[in-house]
Amino acid sequence: MQGPFNRSGKSKPMGEINVVPFIDVMLVLLVIFMITAPMLTQGVQVELPQVSSQPIDEQENDPIIISVDSDGGYFITLGEDSTSVTLDEMSQRVVAILQRRPGTPVMVRGDRNVAYGQIVVLMSTLQGAGVANVGLLSEPPQDG
């Protein structure tokens, strides 16, 4: 009788597991995760509210408010001063303000008719300028 269950005593049954296929699968999974991991971390980090929003409490620093009008123009407002700026100028001004007054909150106010992509570009630019958290401003719904 031939095979691993030969009773002649010449060969013993093989008691080892062949792990080469498992190593191959693990290496393929490692490569897949190495390729997909950087794709998962792209985007703009935004803290979304968990419940209905409440008015913001008064703060000692006036927030930086970046507005996008319906034509796609950018405006930066600090206190009572509002200035029309380009995207690059806005980034430079925000960096300068945050260097002088760290911890100043940054808020984005966008017109409802502005394309979502333009707001995402704005928020990505703010993130590149070193803004950790960006708030989104809205108006309460009108009754009636």
Contact 95, 129 (CB under 8 A): yes
**What is the CATH number for 92?**
3.30.420.270
What is the mean predicted confidence (pLDDT) over 31-43? 76
**Residue 10 maps to a domain:** no
Question: Is residue 111, in this structure, part of any structural domain at all?
Answer: yes
Q: What pTM value is reported for the model?
A: 0.56
Residue whose tokens read 């002088």:
100
* 108 assigned to some structural domain: yes
Structural domain for 69, as ranges: 64-136
In a domain, 105, yes or no: yes
Per-residue pLDDT band for 41 (boundaries 50, 70, 90) equals low
For 30, counting Cβ atoms within 10 Å of its Cβ (0-12 exposed, 13-18 middle, 19+ buried), the class is exposed
Q: Judge whether residue 63 has pLDDT over 90.
A: no
Going by the DSSP 8-state scheme, the letter that residue 57 receives in this structure is: P
- Structural domain count of the chain: 1
The answer to whether residue 57 sits within a structural domain is: no
Question: What is the C-alpha separation between 30 and 63, in angstroms, rounded?
Answer: 45
For 103-135, write each residue's pLDDT tens digit: 788 888 887 788 888 888 888 888 888 888 888
